[in-house]
């Protein structure tokens, strides 16, 4: 029997893809989800129930027989809608309890954190792991707290801080832009030449697969992003390319674009996409990771896979 990996949050956007890929690679996968019946039946995949992380969890039972863990379960970023204490309980305290239970039982715990544990919505220089972590909201602070608690636990760990992840089934800001891209109207983004790093789901899964077993990744933290950043103008153009349509972008003063987004109730999304946010993932590349999917190609492929049905 091969090595067994426990994946928490196995029915999420990342977890579903990771479960299938690791099973095909020969891992025995224990896929934990709140509703395990929604996990696709596959050879090498054991479906188990994921307890409510809002309460103490019987981690030893979930860990029994596992040699590795990928911890994905938690609360996603939801600005202003959840109390800080809930982020702390589910994203930080539960991760700490998992690490304590895993110490001495497993070979590696991989925590999927977020670049928001390190920085806010924009940055005036390419960020690296050497930059001081300065999260700007409860979500980011809870992720950073989880990282620090796991590092102090004594378990062998790897932390990944991914950029915004895109792929089939994506939600959030990428889905909102995709909804705009599907409309026939010209969009006022031609002048938006900012640079933002994104991350293809396939590239993230390959990074996880690597750090699960890499000795060089032990007790390290890595930023994860596609090789090159992309502007919002090029991002929307790639979306429309995936739909088989021309970019149809027009140049409008950025102040006017901001007012337009505000009129559609999208002011928060504007703040998240209009600045520069470039991630330097060279540390992860130094241990052998290569992001095979280029952002523009991955975005176009995502739109083709969704067949124009991305949710807002």
| CATH number for position 22 | 3.40.50.720
pLDDT band at 310 (very low <50, low <70, confident <90, very high): very low
Provide φ and ψ at 44, rounded to 5°.
Answer: 85, 0
Is the pTM here over 0.85, yes or no? yes
Residues 150 and 41 both lie in one domain: yes
Residues 261 and 122 both lie in one domain: no
Q: What is the pLDDT of residues 16-57, one digit of tens each?
A: 999 999 999 999 999 999 999 999 888 999 999 999 999 999
Q: What is the pLDDT of residues 206-238, one digit of tens each?
A: 999 999 999 999 999 999 999 999 999 999 999
Residues 58 and 122 both lie in one domain: yes
pLDDT of residue 2: 58
CA-nearest of 252, 279, 239 to 122 is 279
CA-nearest of 188, 212, 165 to 69 is 212
Among 55-69, 131-145, 256-270, which is the least confidently predicted range?
256-270
Tell me: pLDDT of 312 over 70. Answer: no
Residues 176 and 157 both lie in one domain: no
Question: Given 117, 139, 162, which residue is the final one in a domain?
Answer: 162
Question: Given 108, 139, 162, which residue is the final one in a domain?
Answer: 162
Examine residue 303 and state whether it is found in any structural domain, yes or no: no
Judge whether 197 and 119 are in contact, CB under 8 Å. Answer: no
Examine residue 182 and state whether it is found in any structural domain, yes or no: yes
Residues 136 and 250 both lie in one domain: no
Examine residue 305 and state whether it is found in any structural domain, yes or no: no
Examine residue 13 and state whether it is found in any structural domain, yes or no: yes
- Give the C-alpha distances (Å, rounded to integers) separating 308 from 80, 129, 269, 300, 302: 30, 36, 21, 11, 9
Judge whether 102 and 136 are in contact, CB under 8 Å. Answer: no
Examine residue 184 and state whether it is found in any structural domain, yes or no: yes
Q: What is the pLDDT of residues 237-278, one digit of tens each?
A: 999 999 999 999 999 888 888 887 778 777 767 777 888 999
- Cβ neighbours of residue 225 under 8 Å, at least 6 residues apart? 115, 162, 163, 197, 198, 199, 279, 281, 291
Using only C-alpha atoms, the chain has a radius of gyration, in whole angstroms, of: 20
Residues 154 and 268 both lie in one domain: no
pLDDT band at 305 (very low <50, low <70, confident <90, very high): very high
Instruction: Tell me the longest C-alpha to C-alpha distance in the chain.
Output: 61
* Spatial distance between the Cα atoms of 284 and 220, rounded to a whole number of angstroms: 10
Examine residue 296 and state whether it is found in any structural domain, yes or no: no
Residues 151 and 16 both lie in one domain: yes
pLDDT of residue 307: 65
Examine residue 307 and state whether it is found in any structural domain, yes or no: no
CA-nearest of 106, 16, 3 to 63 is 106
- Cβ neighbours of residue 311 under 8 Å, at least 6 residues apart? 171, 175, 179
Report, in this order, helix, strand and coil percent for the chain, each rounded to 5.
40, 15, 45
Residues 35 and 81 both lie in one domain: yes
Residues 119 and 189 both lie in one domain: no
Tell me: pLDDT of 1 over 70. Answer: no
Q: What is the mean pLDDT of residues 286-293?
A: 98
Q: What is the pLDDT of residues 156-195, one digit of tens each?
A: 999 999 999 999 999 888 998 899 899 999 998 999 899 9
Tell me: pLDDT of 141 over 50. Answer: yes
pLDDT of residue 41: 87
pLDDT band at 10 (very low <50, low <70, confident <90, very high): very high
Q: What is the DSSP letter of 191?
A: T
Give the domain range for residue 263.
Answer: 172-194+230-273
Q: What 3-state DSSP class applies to 164?
A: strand
Residues 43 and 138 both lie in one domain: yes
Residues 126 and 177 both lie in one domain: no
Examine residue 281 and state whether it is found in any structural domain, yes or no: no
Q: What is the mean pLDDT of residues 125-136?
A: 96
Residues 177 and 149 both lie in one domain: no
pLDDT of residue 85: 94
Q: Structurally, how many domains does the chain consist of?
A: 2
pLDDT of residue 79: 61
Give the bridge partners for 224, in sequence order.
162
């Amino acid at each position: 029997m091969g090595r067994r990996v426990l994946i928490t949050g196995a029915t999420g956007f990342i977890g579903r893809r990771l479960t299938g890929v690791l099973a095909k690679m020969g891992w025995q996968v224990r896929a934990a989800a709140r509703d395990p019946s929604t996990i696709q039946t596959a050879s090498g995949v054991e479906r188990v129930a994921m307890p409510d992380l809002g309460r103490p969890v019987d981690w030893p039972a979930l860990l029994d027989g596992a040699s590795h863990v990928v911890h994905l379960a938690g609360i996603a970023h939801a600005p202003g809608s959840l109390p800080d204490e809930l982020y702390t309980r589910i994203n930080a305290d539960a991760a700490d309890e998992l690490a304590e239970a895993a110490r001495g039982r497993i070979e590696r715990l991989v925590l999927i954190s977020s670049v928001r544990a390190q920085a806010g919505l924009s940055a005036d220089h390419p960020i690296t792991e050497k930059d001081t972590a300065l999260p700007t909201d409860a979500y980011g602070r809870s992720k950073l707290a989880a990282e620090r608690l796991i590092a102090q636990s004594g378990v062998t760990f790897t932390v990944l801080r991914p950029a915004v992840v895109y792929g089939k089934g994506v939600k959030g800001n990428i889905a909102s832009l995709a909804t705009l891209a599907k409309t026939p109207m010209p969009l006022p983004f031609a002048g938006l030449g900012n640079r933002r790093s994104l991350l293809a789901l396939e590239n993230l899964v390959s990074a996880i697969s690597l750090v699960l077993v890499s000795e060089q990744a032990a007790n390290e933290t890595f930023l994860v992003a596609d090789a090159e950043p992309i502007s919002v103008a090029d991002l929307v153009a790639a979306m429309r390319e995936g739909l088989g349509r021309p970019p149809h972008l027009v140049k409008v003063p950025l102040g006017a674009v901001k007012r337009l987004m505000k009129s559609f109730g999208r002011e928060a999304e504007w703040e998240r996409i209009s600045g520069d946010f470039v991630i330097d993932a060279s540390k992860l590349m130094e241990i052998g990771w290569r992001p095979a999917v280029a952002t523009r190609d991955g975005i176009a492929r995502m739109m083709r896979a969704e067949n124009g049905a991305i949710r807002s």
